[in-house]
Amino acid sequence: MIKSISINQYRKLKNCKLDFTSNLNAISGTNGTCKTSLLHMISNSCKAVTKTSAWVKDKNCLQIINSVNDVTNPKVESLTRGDKKYNDPAHGVSGVLFNVEYYDHSSLDFRRHNSSTSTRYAIKPMYQRGSGDSLPSCPVIYLGLSRLMPYGEFKNDDALKDIKKGLPDDYQEELAKLYESFTHYAISNTSIQQMGDVKTRAEFSSEFEGIDSNTISAGEDNLYIILLAIMSLRYYFESIDSHNTVESILLVDELDATLHPAFQIKLLQLLRNYSQKYRMQVVFTTHSMTMIEDLLSKHDNVFYLIDNITSVVLMEDPDLFKIRMHLSSLTKEEIYLDKVIPVFTEDEEARFILDMLLKYYEEKKPEFRGVRRFFHFVNVNLGADNLRNIFEDLKLLRSTMKAICVLDGDHNTDLSNNIVALPGKNMVQAGYGLSPEKLLVEYANILYEKDDPFWVDNSIISIGYGKAMYLEKVANVIRKYEEKPDPSVKERIFYKNVFNSNKSFFELLFKHWLNNTNNRSEKYRFYTELRTLFLKNARYNDINPEEWPEKKD
């Protein structure tokens, strides 16, 4: 029914537009962001369906729906009933406060209309003279917070009143099945009861001793009231002959209130199904991160309103992490405190090389800046075979570990098992994988043969290295080992010792390797594969995948 609301000013809502879907629409935000006001603005934009409406075939359905649901088609003035003084909803603004566009492509402007009661006002459409405009007819069920009042806290027994008319038997049976699917209680002897002017609720018994409508929890009572409203609008849909995009509207303030997270998820799925099948537009407010996460993952329509003290700002492109930050009143740094992806490597040398790689990406790639902090290097040394065995154990990987394995360049990448290999392809021996230590030694030899300017750079000279020192401390040491290997020292350990004995030199050498355009393909390969694994594991570690966006043009 409601396609969009364009607001000039209404309370703290100013110069904003909300586009609604015909199915589920969630509104979230901190207290004081006019969420309930939006629900009333929607209801205010429709008038009640009457028995004279030609499309209503079952004339009894309207009376029944109105009697079994506490509030239908409320207007904005009901929000101002308790005001002690006149509170202007748009101080200094005259004329149009907001415009509503409907799914039939019509639209109406709305203005304030002060009532004879000095503290109250109404919001009414601005009909053009002779236009024939009128509010569209649509049944609206509004479930406010009064539905949450427990039966046991209602003290006025004289105000309890049984409602004679209820939903037809087949709808009551379907409602009982829905309720049982949530609570596992098979209920019977159902009737509708009015608790004074507080709320309308169900009176029923169950198959279990001591469990009935008077002893169930507040959440179970709330759930029944919501399911009753859903079933009422299904009854309306099946009682009319109409083909509108939206046939009815369900408005719920704090849909998640008193409901267990499992109920919340199940209720959202039920609302998706019913809203599509019975053309029911559902708009509700919520503070539940459980609901918000499910809504966003299913691509439902979510509005998040930010309190800007004197106004309300509509968050652009809301996502789970932005919303969590605002709902929790956390800064970005606080929300990501201790939120990291564990990274396993073979040894300290690999962690040294990996850290240099990430620093290089931070410097060269704007989209990577700020991502480095999400990688936690696990300070443990495990051989490649042991790491592969761990990360190829699907039960371990899926149930307990949402981590990344970084192997040396003499191994292969396996993204399906969260494994990525460090750069290791020598630019001369394409396709030949090398460990970090051997890669750098091979690269140094290439620079040596080319008489590259690297050897006379001030940074190299300042740490006492040059071609002669490289020959003495690195090349000749390696040549002697290869000519006569020491059986007590494994080759891998030997190369690590050479690396660590000349760490400052190899650090500068790797920086040169990183800035050499001939190595672009290996740097790009590792970057893209690491990003793939970041996106794959981020959500599991409560990190927004959008923290590492695609390359910016």
Predicted confidence (pLDDT) at residue 432 exceeds the cutoff of 60: no
- CB neighbours of 32 closer than 8 A, spacing ≥ 6? 12, 307
> Which residue in the block uniquely carries the two structure tokens 């990430």?
358
**Are the C-beta atoms of 261 and 271 separated by less than 8 Å?**
no
- pLDDT value for 115: 64
Predicted confidence (pLDDT) at residue 550 exceeds the cutoff of 90: no
Report the DSSP pairing between strands 248-252 and 140-143.
Answer: parallel
CA distances in angstroms from 300 to 269, 271, 326, listed in the order given: 11, 11, 20
Tell me which CATH code domain 2-149+245-330 carries.
3.40.50
Predicted confidence (pLDDT) at residue 323 exceeds the cutoff of 90: no
Runs of H (alpha helix) within 371-450: 384-391, 394-399, 436-450
**Are the C-beta atoms of 264 and 256 separated by less than 8 Å?**
yes
- pLDDT value for 79: 59
Predicted confidence (pLDDT) at residue 532 exceeds the cutoff of 90: yes
Assign 155 a pLDDT band (cuts: 50, 70, 90).
low
DSSP state, residue 240:
B
Report the DSSP pairing between strands 419-421 and 404-407.
Answer: parallel
- CB neighbours of 487 closer than 8 A, spacing ≥ 6? none
pLDDT > 90: percent of the chain: 50
pLDDT > 70: percent of the chain: 90
Predicted confidence (pLDDT) at residue 120 exceeds the cutoff of 70: no
- pLDDT value for 194: 78
- pLDDT value for 123: 86
- pLDDT value for 171: 93
Predicted confidence (pLDDT) at residue 403 exceeds the cutoff of 80: yes
- pLDDT value for 88: 74
Instruction: Classify 13 in phi/psi space as left (phi over 0), alpha (psi -120 to 50) or beta.
Output: beta
> Which residue in the block uniquely carries the two structure tokens 């509010």?
135
Mean pLDDT to the nearest integer, 140-153: 82
Predicted confidence (pLDDT) at residue 83 exceeds the cutoff of 60: no
Assign 430 a pLDDT band (cuts: 50, 70, 90).
very low
> Which residue in the block uniquely carries the two structure tokens 């009901």?
78
Assign 335 a pLDDT band (cuts: 50, 70, 90).
low
- pLDDT value for 198: 75
Query: SS3 of 362, please?
Result: helix
| Distance in angstroms (rounded) separating the CA atoms of residues 481 and 444 | 17
DSSP state, residue 212:
B
Predicted confidence (pLDDT) at residue 131 exceeds the cutoff of 90: no
Assign 498 a pLDDT band (cuts: 50, 70, 90).
very high
- pLDDT value for 134: 80
Cα distance from N-terminal residue to C-terminal residue, the chain = 40
Predicted confidence (pLDDT) at residue 431 exceeds the cutoff of 60: no
Assign 234 a pLDDT band (cuts: 50, 70, 90).
very high
- pLDDT value for 90: 81
pLDDT tens-digit profile of 182-204?
A: 998 888 888 787 777 777 877 78
| Distance in angstroms (rounded) separating the CA atoms of residues 376 and 354 | 11
Query: SS3 of 241, please?
Result: coil
The full set of domain ranges for the chain reads 2-149+245-330, 341-546
- pLDDT value for 524: 92
Q: Which of 183-197, 216-230, 327-341 has the lowest mean pLDDT?
A: 327-341
- In order, the DSSP letters of 139-172 are -EEEE-GGGGS-GGG---GGGEEEES----HHHH
Closest CA to 264 of 216, 219, 214: 219
Name the more confident of 236 and 206: 236
- pLDDT value for 428: 45
Beta bridge partners of 404: 343
The pLDDT mean for the chain works out to 86
